[in-house]
Amino acid sequence: MRIAVLALQGAFAEHRKMLQTLGVESFEVRQAVDWEQPKDGLILPGGESTVQSKLLKELYLLDALRQDICNGLPVFGTCAGLILLAQHVENDVRERLGTMHITVKRNAYGRQTGSFFTEDNFAGQTIPMSFIRAPYISEVENDVEVLSTVDGHIVAAQQGCQLVTAFHPELLTDTTVHRHFLSIVKETKID
């Protein structure tokens, strides 16, 4: 199994470290030629979605990634990655991948409470969650499964092989969310 990690900006190194802990090979995607490598899944890290979407477009990666995701490549987006995957964003007009049938609010917790830590339920298990200037999901369509709700707001969801979290599992040591993603990748892998 080999996972592509988008490495234009943000917390990509932490995702790679987490994959390494779980014994999974990964590589960084920094330009279009990197995307040609064989891969079984993609991770979109947290960071700044405005910067990431601009770079994705400038580097001719936006359409290439979108096409593979639409063709069933499993993808896991954290925080800014969640924003990039959202079809609708309440407070942003930039072009995105937009493959997930969710509506998202950016920087949804305001300045004061922008960063916080909590423990809550993810797909039936209590896990630690670290939020940093996080978005939340304000609406989901019928094909989207809600995996976590914190204080009445949806913070993790899945639509087929697309997984998103508003929090950052790569910054903590709990491996639950990454293992959940890897199980999606395993189910999807044909060979």
Question: Residue 152: is it exposed, middle or buried by C-beta count within 10 angstroms (0-12/13-18/19+)?
Answer: exposed
* Range in contact with ligand GLN (rule: CB under 6 A) among 21-29, 30-38, 42-50, 170-178: 42-50
Binders of ligand GLN in range 79-108 (CB under 6 A):
79-80, 83, 106-107
Give φ, ψ of 95 to 5 degrees. Answer: -75, 140
DSSP string, 83-122: HHHEEEETT--S-----EEEEEETTTTTTTTSEEEEEEEE
Q: Would you say 41 is a known binding-site residue?
A: no
- Cα(137)–Cα(125) distance, integer angstroms: 20
Interface stretch with ligand GLN, choices 16-24, 34-42, 45-53, 67-75 (CB under 6 A): 45-53
List the end-to-end C-alpha distance of the chain, in Å, as a whole number: 10
Q: Write the interaction track for ligand GLN spanning residues 106-125; mark x where CB under 6 A is met and - where it is not.
A: xx------------------
Does the protein bind ligand GLN through residue 138 (CB under 6 A)? no
- Using the rule CB under 6 A, which residue among 7, 15, 46, 162 binds ligand GLN? 46
Closer CB to ligand GLN, 94 or 189, in the complex:
94
Question: Annotated catalytic, 15?
Answer: no
CB 117 within 8 A of CB 130: yes
Q: For ligand GLN, which is the closer residue by CB, 67 or 115?
A: 115
Q: Is 48 annotated as a binding residue?
A: yes
Phi/psi region, residue 98 (left: phi>0; alpha: psi -120 to 50; beta: rest), is left
Marked catalytic residue, from 14, 15, 101, 170: 170
Q: Which residues bind ligand GLN (CB under 6 A)?
A: 46-49, 79-80, 83, 106-107, 132-133
